[in-house]
Structure formats: C-alpha cells, structure tokens
Amino acid sequence: MAVKIKLQRMGKIRTPHYRVIVADARTRRSGKAIENIGIYEPKQEPSLIKIDSERAQYWLGVGAQPTEPVLALLKITGDWQKFKGLPGAEGTLKVAEEKPSKLDLFNAALAEANNGPTIEAITEKKKKAKEEAEAKAAAEAEAAKKAEEEAAAAEAESAEASEENADSSAE
C-alpha cells in the first residue's frame, strides 16, 4: 500500500488549520487517516508547526512519501535533514515570543497609574467628591475653631471689662 504524509484541512473559511496526517495515497484530502502526526497553522505569526519528530521519522523510514507542502514543513522542522542525514538537522523553525499574562500586564498598569495596587476601585468622580467633602469638613472645623477662639477672646474681654467696672464702682 502506498502511504503519503499530507495535510488535512481543518478550520473555517479564510482561517485554515491543517493536520499533518499519514494516509493511503488514494484517499481524498479529508479522507480517513492512518495516523495524525502534527498540526500546522499558517495564519499565526510566525506560523505554528508542531510535528511529532519520532513518528515522522518512523513513517519516512517505512517508505511514506511526503507531499510538497509537507516536505517544506519537514525541512523547516529539520526532520527531513535528519532522515536524509544532511547537515542542518536542527531546522529553521521560528518560535513565537511568549506573551506576558494579562494579569501581569494589568498589575503593571495599575502600579504605574497609582504607584501600587489598591484594594478598592475608586472612580474619579467619587474621588473628587471625597476630596471636596474632606476640604469642606476641614474648612468647617477651622471656622468652628476660629469662632471658639473669638468667643473665648470676647468672653475674656467682657470678664476684664466687668472686673474694671467692679473695681471702678468699688472706688
């Protein structure tokens, strides 16, 4: 039986994903596979290519013929060079940079905005209203303190005046 290593298309329209499969050469593109040995997602940047190297080497060793697109993928991963005994068996596969987690990004932005994460979330309107209320309370406290001082000063003056009146009437 002639065996081929080929791509089986998956995914929606305009977003293709492929399985790298081993199948009988006479089966159609989406026909039954003998074994699934990898995946290929060309729309990602860089393209995602995951091929089980051990299984690919086995199938190439027993005579499975790769199609042209699969041959290109095997050259990128280095499996074809390893099978043929050519230099460059490490391949030219590009690996995407690992993205930082969204939680880390959120915490970094929060730290930058407020110099550290806060326990409660406060909107700007509530924060302004709270600051205005505090300023108003401080002004009222200051006015009350000033009024007390004036009242105490007035009382002291009236006490002095009454003492002077008492002294002058006693004379």
C-alpha closest to that of 41 among 66, 4, 23, 15? 15
Tell me the C-alpha distance between 99 and 114, whole Å. Answer: 24
**Phi, psi at 37, each rounded to 5°:** -110, 0
CATH superfamily of 3-84: Ribosomal protein S16 (3.30.1320.10)
Is residue 47 classed exposed, middle or buried when 0-12, 13-18 and 19+ CB atoms within 10 A define those classes?
A: middle
pLDDT digits (tens, 9 = 90+) for 109-139: 888 887 754 555 556 777 778 888 888 888 8
Cα dihedral across residues 72, 74, 76, 79: positive or negative: negative
Cα dihedral across residues 26, 31, 33, 39: positive or negative: positive
* pLDDT in the model for residue 30: 81
* pLDDT in the model for residue 62: 92
User: Cα dist. 171→151, 158, 160, 166 in Å?
Assistant: 30, 20, 17, 9
* pLDDT in the model for residue 27: 86
* pLDDT in the model for residue 163: 66
* pLDDT in the model for residue 120: 58
Mention every residue, 6+ apart, whose C-beta is less than 8 A from residue 161: none
Parts of the chain with a pLDDT under 50? 117
Any idea where the domains of the chain sit in the sequence?
3-84, 127-170
In one-letter notation, the amino acid at residue 35 is E
